[in-house]
Chain A
Amino acid sequence: MIIEINKLKKIYAGITVVDIEQLTINNGETVGVIGNNGAGKTTLFRMLLDLIRPDAGEILSKGHNVADSDQWKKYTASYLDEGFLIDYLTPEEYFIFIGSLHQMGVTEVMHFLRTYEEFFNGEILERGKYIRDFSKGNQNKVGITAALMQQPELLVLDEPFANLDPTTQIRLKTHLKLLKSPGLTTLISSHDLNHVTDVCDRIILFEKGRVIKDFYTNENTLEELEAYFSQ
């Protein structure tokens, strides 16, 4: 068990946006977090990354409260939104910076990036542009790749498929499946039911901050979810 959430609550302007009694994520799971807008997915991820403080309850990562120590940063990589990018850097500079935080040298970073050439589709490296001048989809690619480069044990991605072109979506999906291992736990939020049921072994469905469904995927999952969302 890598993540344990107890009695977690977050309230904004009198409205409870996250309210989780108990939730555990096991090592090696690939978990899809789904729910309509306002279900509390991003808020949950932000609390998991200690970016916002819960109003009650706690999130334990490997047994330590994320709000109390920085331990989790050593094995957690994440990409939530453009707020995670440093937009006045070139992608190369950004990757090298992120690499340096994990004691990766320039050559090591470049070596890693070479394996992502297909994913980049020739649109990221050596373009002579700062990150802020890229399209949203390409910014996403930079953020996701930077997260993967950290070789994390816990990977947190907020809507990684959004803004990506179809080819890249499929490549990302294949890659995420390929990365699955007992040593990597992945949390993915997405609005794309197809992708999420394809990639994830477990689906957690949120509605207004609460866990409505929590189950392991099988061949009927997609239909079930479609039924739920078309209500």
Chain B
Amino acid sequence: MFSTFLRHQWTGFWRSRNKGATIAAQVIMGLFAVYLIGVCFLVGFILEDLIDKFMPGKDIFLVFNGMILYYFSIDFIVRLQIQELPTLAITPYLHLNIPKRKLVNFLHVRSLISVINVFPLIIFFPFCFRNIAPEYGNFACGMYLLAIFSLVMFNNYGALYFKRISAENIRVVLPAIVLLALVAGLEYLKIFSIAAFSDRVFSFIAVHPGAGFLFPTLALAIFLLNDSYLKNNLYIEDLTAGEERKSSTDYPFLNRFGAAGTLAALEIKLILRNKRPHATVTKGLILLFYGFLFYKQDLILTNQFGKMLFPAVFMTGNTILIYGQFMFGWQAAEFDGMLANQVSIRDFFRAKFILLGISASLLTALTSFYGFLSWKILAVHLASCIYNIGVSTVIVLYFATRNYKYIDISKGAKFNWEGISASTMLLSLPVLLSPFIIYLPLSLIGPYWGLAGITIFGLAGMATRSYWTGFLVREFNKRKHKIAEGFRERS
């Protein structure tokens, strides 16, 4: 049965409609994983020397012992971020003559197949063999191995368990965050140190190896907890999110834009009520801190706006770029209805301009906190914002008329490659590069001239918007059947 499940997953992967992008992404991820494994091997075998080099004079066992729990704490947080719940895939098997036990077991085993479970073994095991065994004896070494292996299991099932209960009840997340912040705070204030705690635990095991059996016990406990939770909740309704009363909403400020405003309001609801677009747009808020990497004091002092242009265009236009790259795939599910109904395509595009314009303005307002560094940044942001609204929107919407990929907006955004195609990848190039083409020659006269040039292009784009809308409508009409057909093909 195991092999059948695995084979189904394997064929499912190869036959998914989005194969190209998924495979490309998997290959890149695979290479990255191989690289990381290589690094881990290296680290594992020269850990002794590394500790010696970076912390000379310190007892290597003390550092090693301190590292273990520290590593697994970070490991746990990383897992919460990236480890996927292998739950939904079993829905088609629930009604068949397959014992529940087998399905649960499959989920358990399936979750183990992940590189993240391999890293710690490669990093820590060589040191145990090479240093712990000769120093403390084989029994202690064996207990170290067992403890580390158990921690991997503990983290694997612990993270999944936490994700499962938090998917069902979002309220558990808050105390978890508080706890995390508390531990981090204590660590920062040097009141409580994970490393010191870890050292104490493992030093004890080194001397009294029998105590190491605590770890497999803990791992087994969390495994059984996870197991009983899964067994009791293996119902379709439990695998999906909980119910709460939904209400109708209205955005009166958009009403003055007429039919286009109605469509823009519709898309705002799309973003707020669906997982993937919601996550995509929220990601944009995190990217607002991007500027801190770029805005260095000497750049600001010497007016090197060219080097500040990239983060400025990216931050003020990140929804245009990241949300816009999948257009009109967000609406793939109802696209047929849009075409068959009396929706004017001109209004459809005007709605996109309104939406993208609002988002760029909001982001620019939010990034105004960089003004505390220098008012010059505000000037760069304003120029970029105007450019994004005037020019980037047109570029993005043009590429959107060449995007035929359906996306399931109810799925999460993390590691989700659905809808990515050559055109979605290509589109960021002209958006991010074109401002430089305008800025560079003009900046020879003066950096402010460069900014003015960008602003003028943006304003010109806005002034000639009705021409561009007409152009986009023509392009759209040329390919609308192909777009609709692509959206009807779901994986």
Binding site for B on A (CB under 8 A): 46, 49-53, 70, 73-74, 76, 78, 80-90, 92-93, 96-98, 100-102, 128-130, 132-133, 150
Contacts and interface: CB of A to CB of B under 8 A. Distances in A.
Given A101-B341, A101-B343, 12 more contacts: A51-B339, A52-B484, A76-B340, A80-B336, A82-B333, A84-B336, A84-B340, A85-B334, A89-B266, A93-B248, A133-B246, A150-B342
B334 A86 contact: yes
A110 to B, nearest CB: 11
A80 B488 CA distance: 13
A49 B340 CA distance: 6
Contacts of B484: 51-52
B262 A88 contact: no
A46 B337 CA distance: 11
A73 B336 contact: no
Given A50-B339, A100-B259, A92 B334 contact: no
A51 B341 contact: no
A51 B334 contact: no
A90 B247 contact: yes
19 contacts: A49-B340, A51-B336, A51-B484, A52-B481, A52-B484, A70-B344, A73-B340, A73-B341, A73-B342, A80-B340, A83-B333, A84-B340, A88-B269, A88-B409, A93-B249, A93-B269, A96-B248, A97-B266, A128-B245
Interface in B219-275: 243, 245-249, 259, 262, 266, 269-270, 273-274
A35 B274 CA distance: 38
Closest 4 CB pairs of A and B: A84-B337, A128-B245, A83-B336, A88-B273
A70 B342 CA distance: 8
A78 B410 CA distance: 26
B266 A83 contact: no
Most buried by A among B247, B269, B334, B335: B334
Contacts of B243: 133
Given A50-B339, A52-B481, A88 B247 contact: no
Contact of A78 (B270, B334, B340): B340
A47 to B, nearest CB: 10
Contacts of A96: 248
Interface of B: 243, 245-249, 259, 262, 266, 269-270, 273-274, 333-337, 339-344, 409-410, 481, 484-485, 488
Given A51-B484, A52-B481, A93-B269, A86 B248 contact: no
Nearest to A156: B340
B337 A83 contact: yes
A74 B246 CA distance: 32
B488 A83 contact: yes
B455 to A, nearest CB: 36
Contact of A128 (B246, B259, B410): B246
Contacts of B488: 83
Contacts of A130: 246, 273
A86 B247 contact: no
Nearest to B336: A83
Given A51-B336, A52-B481, A90 B341 contact: no
A90 B343 contact: no
Contacts of B262: 97, 100
A78 B90 CA distance: 36
B341 A83 contact: no
Nearest to B337: A84
Interface centre among B333, B342, B488 (most CB of A within 10 A): B342
Nearest to B265: A97
A84 B334 contact: yes
Most buried by A among B246, B274, B484: B246
Contact of B247 (A73, A74, A128): A128
A129 B246 contact: yes
A51 B249 CA distance: 30
B388 to A, nearest CB: 27
Contacts of B247: 90, 128
Nearest to A78: B340
B246 to A, nearest CB: 5
A74 B344 CA distance: 11
A100 B347 CA distance: 13
A61 to B, nearest CB: 12
Contacts of B481: 50-53
Contacts of A78: 340
A46 B488 CA distance: 12
A102 B342 contact: yes
A93 B251 CA distance: 12
A197 B197 CA distance: 80
A83 B274 CA distance: 16
Contact of B334 (A46, A50, A83, A150): A83
